[in-house]
Amino acid sequence: MKDLARFSGKPLQKDPKPRSEQVPPPAVQVQLVTISEEEAGQRIDNFLLRVCKGVPKSHIYRVLRSGEVRVNKGRIDQTYRLAAGDTVRIPPIRMAEKTQSAVPGAEFTILFEDSHLLIIDKPAGVAVHGGSGVSYGVIEQLRAARPDAKFLELVHRLDRETSGVLLLAKKRSALTNLHEQIRGGEPDKRYFTLVQGDWKNNRQHVKLSLHKYSTPDGERRVRVQSDGMASHTIFNLIQRYEGFALLEAELKTGRTHQIRVHLASSGFPIVGDDKYGDFALNRLLQKAEEGRPALKRMFLHAHQITFLHPETGQQMTIRAKLPPDCERFLKSLTKTV
């Protein structure tokens, strides 16, 4: 090729740039979006972050401050709450190119589903959402499995190692209604948990204020602290075993790691809890022994929730059976009075 260029008298041409560098992507046009009933009630910044996939958050707030985003032809700030029928002007913003999603779609055991709600039985070991070193969780997998779903959001959260009932909203009106119920303390959430120790009372209230903090390596933790958030859990004794007790926990407040810290601080750590539990016992129980299967998870299961249906107002109680690995472990223990 070099010889051919020399004899032709033409300068040697460099290799052409990749096509993506030669041809700029088409310009993005102004978008006019009419807000539906389901989209109403959310802040304009949150709406834009959801609609403008792949656009840096800093850029979203920049166009909001500049006045390029208009609602009904007027300027608004980032705290404006959208109303049904609003017309939103979204300026030309270059979106990230759609790529093949790296999130594997997955469905989970469905406990209830209608046009407003999706309620699943979340397995232990699965995060509810990505973040903090987790690439994706339940919500991302469900969205990948249901690409045509117009709306799907978590109503509440469960710790990664906690199994059981998890509510998701399929409409914004349902999400708003359920969040109002949660703020009002209306949903009744119940958990089964196995603790180490000789539990005495059939029914016991624990009221310990909790403070959330991060460890030097960024891990989220909670401790009992007098100036922390007021927290209240009621524990009901279900069954005593030799060295253990099966309890039902009623959440009266919904603080991070509330059940785990209330029990550990009361001297009854949850079996398998890798943050607040008895680490030596956990290691021992991870290995099967004669007559006892291995337990390789935290024994905390959201077994029941009672709430009002966001559309009909009818009271609903949803239950999730204790997982098989927890059932097998309980059967291997010796019951006591």
> Are the C-beta atoms of 39 and 47 separated by less than 8 Å?
yes
The DSSP letter of residue 252 is: S
> Are the C-beta atoms of 222 and 213 separated by less than 8 Å?
yes
For the beta carbon of residue 114, count every other beta carbon within 10 angstroms.
12
Active site residue 159: yes
Could you tell me which of 238, 246, 234 has the C-alpha nearest to residue 204? 234
Q: How far does CA 105 lie from the centroid of its chain?
A: 16
Q: Alpha helices, DSSP H only, in the chain?
A: 2-8, 19-22, 44-51, 57-66, 138-145, 172-183, 258-265, 279-285, 324-331
CA distance 298 to 286: 11
> Are the C-beta atoms of 36 and 83 separated by less than 8 Å?
no
Measured in degrees and rounded to the nearest 5, phi and psi for residue 230 equal -60, 135
CA distance 60 to 69: 9
State how beta strands 70-71 and 203-207 pair.
unpaired
User: Measured between alpha carbons, how far apart are the two ends of the chain, in Å?
Assistant: 92
Quick one: tokens of 328? 């097998």
Catalytic, out of 159, 198, 227, 325: 159
- Beta-sheet strands, E only, within 179-256: 188-196, 203-207, 210-214, 220-224, 232-241, 244-251
Q: 3-state DSSP call for residue 10?
A: coil
The dihedral of CA 113, 117, 123, 128: what is its sign? positive
* Catalytic residue annotation: 159
